[in-house]
Structure 1
Amino acid sequence: MYFPNVHLTDIIEILIVAVIVYEIMLWIKNTKAWMLLKGMIVLALFILVAAIFQMHTILFLARESINVLAIAAVVVFQPELRRALEKLGEKNLLSNINLFDRNKENQRFSDETVESLVKACFDMGSVCTGALIVVEQAIRLTEYEMTGIELDCKVSSQVLLNIFEHNTPLHDGAVIVRGNRITSATCYLPLSDNMQISKDLGTRHRAALGMSEVSDALIIVVSEETGQVSVAMGGQLARGITPEYLATRLSQIQYRTSEGKKFTIRKGRQKHEEV
């Protein structure tokens, strides 16, 4: 029997390829790319049938259009490819050897900002004032800031309450928070086209989910109909959350690297559903 000569580098190479293939399959399954991939598989099967039965015209068209199809695939998958590359950049593989991250600037925003956001959201929820707040992380949201009105003020519950007050010039749209500052208001966010979203959700919740799908931001939504506070991040929406849960989620993203404080959510502290 033949036994191949396997070296340590071969094992490492196989493991790396396996991890890459697994991550690609997981990424495809969790995005719209899955439906597009199934369409491409059907097209490939059709070409295979044409090859078996020697349908020369179809094979000629397939050969001539292969380059166009490759470019078309990049265009069609562009949102998913962009998000995948952004996710890869979020890994921050060099954070452990980057000496510049090991200082006080490692903090994204202060505890005072966390308290102000939590207080403002639940104060607005108590009177059913609708709100949409985007808390920026690593990915800069400049393109969305440009759709709104530029601001530069410190985050406080009073300012947020005034911005989202009914019949005021800035109440419509989203507020973007960068660090301890409100950078822009009345911003337009991309709506999610996820067909599995509950029909009970309005435009604010769809915008929050859409923003969480194209960025790493944490988005807070206050429902104008029910007064419930929800949080969207990574394409997931937690509805009907408590002040403690919101404070914990904000605290978890408060630091730029994993060297910051670690927080745990106690059992029974959160009662929410995810969509």
Structure 2
Amino acid sequence: MRYSSFVISSSSVFDRFNFDFYLNELSLSSVIDILLVALIIWSILMLVRGTRAVQVLRGLIVFALVLLFVDTFVDLTAFRWVVAKILPALLVAIPVIFQPEIRRALARLGQTGYYIQFWRRAPEHPAIDTLAEACRRLSKRRHGALLVIERDTGLQEYIDTGVKIDAELSVPLLLNIFYKDADLHDGGVIIRDGRLTAASCIMPLSNSQMSDRQMGLRHRAALGTSEVSDAIVLVVSEETGQIAIAHNGRVLPKQPQQQLERILHAFLQDTEA
């Protein structure tokens, strides 16, 4: 008796979804509507890919699916009232939760190169070889360093916090700047168009939780810089000598020293091409 009543109730639920009706009513405008929604969802997924927001988004999707499942298959008046009150609150909370990603997306939309990035190949960056060799030597000497490669997002406000240099980038220059007793050792250097624009710059610190306990203040500054701009940031740990790369709101630790040129080329081409 229970089984038969369950089958009847289940079939009545599925009767709500008249697929033949929807297929017959499908028009060109409906197809365009579906494609636009799919494009928005795809853009959101690309926006948060590789960041901590993926876990939050995944949790929100699971939570919403559970609510919809219970609301559809179980007739609970009080629960339905709670769901009706929670969903509007989630719509308000989403912009707050994904504030860094939304800010980064709007910044990218304002970049001239964003609209043509699929139609051109990124030029070779003139500073890659110099940066890679400097990082290897700094790592060997256990001299901490923070090197920021400026791209489309301007970093002038951070350049103004440091010491203007505007010199041709070279390995000896970077080694002298990040020597432990040097006056410009603290802070980061900013590279613009292959030239060392400024040193001892105060970079923004991230409020995100660092997964690796060996990551210190420089890593937090690298992550913070990558959260507010499209810069590529190199970090050399003073404690371990390990080299990390920060970009797009994430830090990739323990980069192999002998492959730094290839990794930097890949980063610059993937993000500029």
Distance 1:33 1:146 in 2: 36
What displacement does 1:218 show? 1.1
Distance 1:134 1:250 in 2: 12
For 1:18, the equivalent position in structure 2 comes to 38
For 2:221, the equivalent position in structure 1 comes to 207
The one of 118, 124, 129 aligned to 2:132: 118
Deviations along 1:127-167, one digit per CA (max 9) or x if unpaired, are 11111000112211112112211120011001101111122
**Do residues 137 (structure 1) and 159 (structure 2) align?**
no
Percent of residue pairs identical: 37
For 1:238, the equivalent position in structure 2 comes to 252
Task: Call closer, same or farther: CA 1:34–1:119 in 2, change over 3 Å.
Answer: same
1:32-71 → structure 2 map (5 Å cutoff): 34=56
1:99-248 → structure 2 map (5 Å cutoff): 107=123, 109-110=125-126, 113-248=127-262
Deviations along 1:148-200, one digit per CA (max 9) or x if unpaired, are 11120011001101111122111110000012101111111122222252222
For 1:273, the equivalent position in structure 2 comes to none
What displacement does 1:230 show? 1.4
For 2:71, the equivalent position in structure 1 comes to none
For 1:272, the equivalent position in structure 2 comes to none
**Do residues 93 (structure 1) and 115 (structure 2) align?**
yes
Task: Call closer, same or farther: CA 1:198–1:20 in 2, change over 3 Å.
Answer: same
Q: Which amino acid aligns with 2:255?
A: I
Question: Which structure dedicates a bigger proportion of its chain to helix?
Answer: 2
SS in 2 for 1:192: coil
Distance 2:46 2:153 in 1: 22
Q: Which amino acid aligns with 1:220?
A: L
Deviations along 1:51-92, one digit per CA (max 9) or x if unpaired, are 969xxxxx9xxxxxx9xx97x986886544211213445672
What displacement does 1:248 show? 1.2
TM-score normalised by structure 1 residue count: 0.68
TM-score normalised by structure 2 residue count: 0.68
Deviations along 1:94-133, one digit per CA (max 9) or x if unpaired, are 3567xxx78xxx63632xx222111111111111111100
SS in 2 for 1:119: helix
Distance 1:233 1:96 in 2: 19
Q: Does the 8 Å CA contact 1:131/1:222 hold for their aligned counterparts?
A: yes
What displacement does 1:250 show? 2.0
SS in 1 for 2:166: strand
What displacement does 1:16 show? 1.7
Q: Does the 8 Å CA contact 1:33/1:77 hold for their aligned counterparts?
A: no
> Gaps (5+ residues) in structure 2?
1-19, 68-76
Q: Does the 8 Å CA contact 1:33/1:80 hold for their aligned counterparts?
A: no
Q: CA RMSD in A?
A: 3.7
Aligned residues: 229
Task: Call closer, same or farther: CA 1:198–1:95 in 2, change over 3 Å.
Answer: closer
Distance 1:32 1:241 in 2: 23
> Gaps (5+ residues) in structure 1?
54-58, 60-65, 259-275
SS in 2 for 1:92: helix
Task: Call closer, same or farther: CA 1:180–1:196 in 2, change over 3 Å.
Answer: closer
Q: Which amino acid aligns with 1:82?
A: R
What displacement does 1:210 show? 1.6
Q: Does the 8 Å CA contact 1:130/1:227 hold for their aligned counterparts?
A: yes
For 2:10, the equivalent position in structure 1 comes to none
Distance 1:159 1:246 in 2: 19
Q: Which amino acid aligns with 1:10?
A: S
Q: Does the 8 Å CA contact 1:108/1:179 hold for their aligned counterparts?
A: no
